Structure 1
Amino acid sequence: MKLKKSICILSLLFFSISIFFEINTTTVLADDSPTIYCNVDKNDIVAGEEFTVTILANNVKNLYGASVDFKYDSSIMTPINATSSCAFNNDHKIYEKITQNDYSNNIFSFITTFLGDYNGTNFASGSLFNIKFKAKRSGSLNLNRESLNIKLSDSNANPIKYNMLYSTINIGQAAKINSINSNVKNNLAIVDNNISINTNATSKYPVLYKYWIKKDDSPWTVLSDYSNKSSIDFNPKSPGNYQISCYVKTNNTYEDPSDFKIFNFKVLEKPSITKLNINESTINLGGKINISTDSNKNNTLFKIWVLENNSWKILQDYSPNNTIDYSPKLNGLYKISVYAKSPDSLSELDDCKIIDFEVLPNATLKVDKNFYTVNNTVNLFTETDSSNDLIYKYWMNENGIWKTLSDYTNLNTFSLSSLTPGDKLFAVYVKNKNSNNDNLALAQKAITIVDPKLTIANSNLDNNISINDEIKIGLTSNIKNPKYKFWIMDSSCKWKVLQDYGDNNILSYIPKEYGNYKLSIYLKDKDSQNEVDDYKILDFSIKPKLSTFTANPNNNSFVYTPIKLTASTKNSTSDLLYKFWVKDSKGWKMIRDYDTNPSFDWIPTSPGNYIFSVYVKNKNSASTVDDNLIIQNYVVADNTIKDISLNKLSNEIYQVNTTVDNSNNLLYKFWYFNGTDWKVLNDYSIDASIKTKNLDFSSGKISVYIKNKNSKNEYDNFKIVNLKDVKLN
């Protein structure tokens, strides 16, 4: 019974298409009657994309089975698959099948039904089918009763009538050209122009571009096949009417092209220069040249350049004017260049010609002085009304003989020194650097060379000079009008003038500090333009001298007792440094490095015979020592305990007294031995005497430790006495 019911409903869905379709197209149902409509899952479908059409229904009761015959346009879309939707998704078994996929007739059919004894399903709103398509090309399809034949059946195999809402599937282009842009002006270009075409296209996916070209009546040919490059450059080699077309598409579409546009332009012959003339090939500064040019085209534009001082500059920008006058401001070799182009050309120029001409200078030779010494450098220089790209050759006549000083160079100056005394005659040749002409300028100048000498007549400068002593130096020379200038450099290492140029020939200077000095003496003639014609530099040093070196205590002392070493100089200043040394049985050692303090306290730690030395030097001195003194045979002895005595103060109280060689900075420690053990009566202190009681004079002993307060020893010396041997006072 269940199988028979299902077969009956399937038969209804398969074989009552025309009758059911006609009933639904002619019947208008109530507002609460079933309604079928379609929904597409994407709003902006483009060619190449997949999309799903969902068929939905409202107000359906007792639905048992449904089918759809979808008539589509295979040129714009193709079905992929179909499934039943939520109206049939419950726990009851269903049967579903694609019954027809006829690409030639553009028909796609799908059926779904419950199986067995089932009363059907009721729903206010739900989806019946999901049909997936792939968009092939742009276009549209109306979803109505002509494209969709939908059949509904209840559980008794009766058809369910319904209303239908219409809609449309719109498939857009996979790629669309917005514009084609070019650098071509007014759709005109010139042969050999670089023509740039750029296409602006939009798509949801990466766009591919293909360019075609067509000239006159020739067929279309490919300029570049599909690629991701949106622009292309093209250089036409012949005149004519051109068309460039751009195709666009995406990789995921059948559309080829998805869109295209055509750009039209015309290519003209380029002009050529037929004439370029100037009125003179060689002129002097201040002259003028006339430039004239022409071409084979009437509407040609001309741009005129000049190469001046190795730099091109524009005399006239593009203009129909073909003549111009030019007055050069510099000498040298020039070039005139003319550019010609069509008003429609995309190039900077369509043709070019160059012509040369030369501008010659006017020149004068000069020298910088009329008075020279053998110590001077003679500077020759050439003055011209233009210094652009000139070369110069210098000569000298000495004792009637001409000799070349320098061959042609680009330097307008020449210097020479170490000339012998006497009369000299100089000359210079001047010409353009790259000129093949022999034009040149000539100038001459005569000068006289003299040989000044500076002599020290007398001087008290010797090693006995100290600070505050006056230095005097007398000077003479071999020139008629001598002038003297004196300089001094002290420890600051900076030169300063003691006397500017004058007639005084005695240098006087009093040094005020220790250090190294330099005196410089300049000599020049009153008519000389030199800073100095002769000079001398004298080096001298003012060093400190030690006057005394003492030790306190004098001659001898004790270990760990400070010895004050003190040095003094004849002229003591804050710039002096002192360094102290001591020599013992092991040799010399430094006990204090250089310092401004002339005194130093040294503490001996062992007895012996010592030698002390002090170094002195100026703080700016490069020497290890400027002066030194020595103290010989200084004796340092150990401190010893001479005696330990006792005074009886009462029947039980005793005073222990210690007598030593030197009590300065001395510490004492007292011990008592009771016949069995030693114990401290008084730890280290400055007290040489202590009070104690309960002494055993039969077997007791007293011991005293002594050490200097600077000593690091447990004791420096000690003494032990038996109480029975001590005489009481």
Structure 2
Amino acid sequence: MKLKKLTAFIVCFLFLLNILELPSFNVKAAGTPKITYSVSGSVAVGQDFYINVNAENVADLFGADLTLKYDNTMIQIYNDQVKVGDVFANMVQGDDYSFGVQDATADGLATFSLLLGDKHKTGINIDATPKSLFVIKAKALKAGNLALNFVAGDPVVETEKVNSRVKLADSGEGVINFTIEQKSISIFNAPIEPVQIKSFIADKVSPQVLGTATTFTATATGGTSLLYQFWVYDGAKWTMVQNYSTKNTFIFNPSAIGNYTVAVYVKDVNSTKALDVSTSVKFSVINTPDPVQLKSFIADKVSPQVLGTATTFTATATGGTSLLYQFWVYDGAKWTMVQNYSTKNTFIFNPSAIGNYTVAVYVKDINSTKALDVSTSMKFSVIN
């Protein structure tokens, strides 16, 4: 029965608030009842902020209703994150109130309602210190002035594109008269950071064999929206190979061998300059490389060596495009990889026990799909 009574009261309350010719109820208060707006947070494009609908000098407040017609090209309202303000959230015992949100996002229209529960005989008294009724979370979408203009009629049919209607009711279902502040919120463009190129890398090392596609990727920050343009220098002239777009990658696959320079220009979409920043990378393209060959594999000390002595092994190889080296050690029982593939062609050998060892090196081209292209080994003893 209590739930039915509350539901019926809410329906009656909302119906009452939507009748404009309701009789006024003179509220006795220390000052003139007033509705104001305040904003918290950064009102910059792309940022979230809060619109606080505040009340002051209001006596016997039992219900409140806000209809907001807003320019949905300027702001986005998060209806699921609209909160009850201090008046009802902090001044009502046991949270005995109802809160409703109705939205028509496509039309830029939202309605928020608050109503005390039926166990309350009198309403809330608000002093001269402004306290929030509703806290509306919004996101700024574009720069400009957002007007929160109070209207007496229905905002849906008002000619103003952005306006609001606030209604307050007392415990006797009478309308509370009040004055209201007209508010204009200035939405500004956030400060734009200068455009900077953080990196410009190729997915393959230079040189590469003719016919191999290499992807260059530029990473940049700053601006509002960045555009990328790619150029190639073949030793004689510069050629634009990919015009300005939001695509920050370029696939390089020239038709001839040579020493090239690949460059990227970056600029903000609103920039009037040919470029804001640029950088470049040198890259060589060669014919099919010579096969990988090991020319030498030597130690800087002769075998045997005393335990605790560090010995450096150095491999020298030719061919390929870019060579990788991997080192292994055999202790008489098992093989252990002691240094994985890298461009480092040296390995420092300093075992923890005496014994007869074999040190091996594997060499392969960086583009090789095999475990190794060539290898060799050397026996080495460690004694007390």
Could you say which TM-score interval applies, normalised by the shorter chain? Answer: 0.3 to 0.5
Q: TM-score, normalization: structure 1?
A: 0.25
Structure with bigger gyration radius: 1
Structure with bigger strand share is 1
Structure showing greater relative contact order (alpha-carbon pairs closer than 8 Å, 6 or more residues apart): 2
Q: TM-score, normalization: structure 2?
A: 0.45
